[in-house]
Copies of this chain bind each other. A is one copy, B any other.
């Protein structure tokens, strides 16, 4: 991540390229910096604390969610982790095979599956999370504590807003025309 261009330079180039076009610069910078920061942070954590436990980012997030909430139904785990149900199936399988996670059937509703950490998983997270948190502190070094709070609060507002209004917005945007299917993905058996 040692850039050829700094963020400031990039933003300047954007201005040069788009000087004439009316665009909303503050929001653009906010969104693009959210992704830059997310990528940089993820990379840092994957290549430090996670790597030594041979965990991927997603694997860690899934463990974290289950750890925090205790037993949890898979659909909610997927939601909290920000991945699809299908992805979770695979990730959970990997984590199970490493003995960190276990999968239980629901006693009354046969459709449900519940995830829970094994003792090994609990132990790992108890050990790993403080280290993880140390790196969260490291990446947040340039922020005052109050700034970190205000940053989190603004992002929280954005997420809440998207959860509340994103779907409607997407519906409005596409109007009548249905979304084109993805280039990839499962096909109907016969068409």
- Name which residue of chain B comes closest to A23, CB basis: B133
Counted per complex, copies of this chain come to 2
A 26-51 binary contact with B (CB < 8 Å = 1; else 0): 11111101111111111110011101
A176 is an interface residue with CB less than 8 A from chain B: no
How many of chain A's residues have a CB under 8 angstroms from any CB in B?
86
Q: How far is the CA of A167 from the CA of B34 in the complex (A)?
A: 21
A89 is an interface residue with CB less than 8 A from chain B: no
Q: Are A4 and B52 in contact (CB under 8 A)?
A: no
Q: Are A30 and B140 in contact (CB under 8 A)?
A: yes
- 21 A-B contacts (beta carbon < 8 Å): A1-B82, A1-B162, A3-B80, A3-B163, A5-B69, A5-B80, A14-B68, A24-B133, A24-B137, A30-B143, A31-B41, A33-B155, A34-B37, A35-B38, A35-B41, A37-B155, A47-B170, A51-B179, A54-B180, A142-B157, A150-B150
